[in-house]
Amino acid sequence: MTDFKMISDAEWRERLNDEEYRVLRQAGTEAPFVGEYTDTTTEGVYSCRACGAELFRSEHKFASHCGWPAFFSPLAGDRVVERTDDSLGMRRTEVLCASCGSHLGHVFAGEGYDTPTDLRYCINSVCLTLEPAEGEAGDR
């Protein structure tokens, strides 16, 4: 099994396209409202695009209208790790894939969204791969 935490920067560059590399490995942010999963409501599981670890489920996705896919809970709490991010002069909480350490987005709390956790995992589409549930469009 690949230990994704041991993959070199050069190898990530080969595995990922330019935009994926910029966001996942350099903690970039994709432009709002253009990501492929921003308004997706297809049922399924969202995996890390870098390593394939399952991260989020469609039933935890909600319409945040913030311009990026938003989830109120990760699939399992230990699938992602969170760390303080003081870049851009703001204190935010960065969300990373626990399996490969890639940047996924940020999590915001207490914004008043009508969800069970009042958390918004604001995740870049380019960091995710949606595996549609059985019977959904997109048969493979």
Known catalytic residues are: 122
- Residues 79 and 97: their CA atoms lie apart, in Å, by 6
Question: Hey, what are 110's tokens?
Answer: 């207490």
The binding site for Zn ion (CB under 5 A) comprises 48, 50-51, 53, 97, 99-100, 102
Burial profile 6-15: b = 16 or more Cβ within 10 angstroms, e = fewer: ebeeeebeeb
- Residues 115 and 9: their CA atoms lie apart, in Å, by 37
Beta carbon of residue 120, minimum distance to Zn ion (angstroms, whole number)? 20
* Cβ closest to Zn ion, residue 51 vs residue 70: 51
Beta carbon of residue 100, minimum distance to Zn ion (angstroms, whole number)? 3
Beta carbon of residue 6, minimum distance to Zn ion (angstroms, whole number)? 13
Which residue, 5, 2, 1, is CA-closest to 100? 5
Beta strands in the chain (DSSP E): 44-48, 54-57, 61-62, 70-71, 80-85, 92-97, 103-109, 119-123, 128-132
* Cβ closest to Zn ion, residue 20 vs residue 120: 20
Beta carbon of residue 134, minimum distance to Zn ion (angstroms, whole number)? 24
* Cβ closest to Zn ion, residue 5 vs residue 65: 5
* Cβ closest to Zn ion, residue 36 vs residue 136: 36
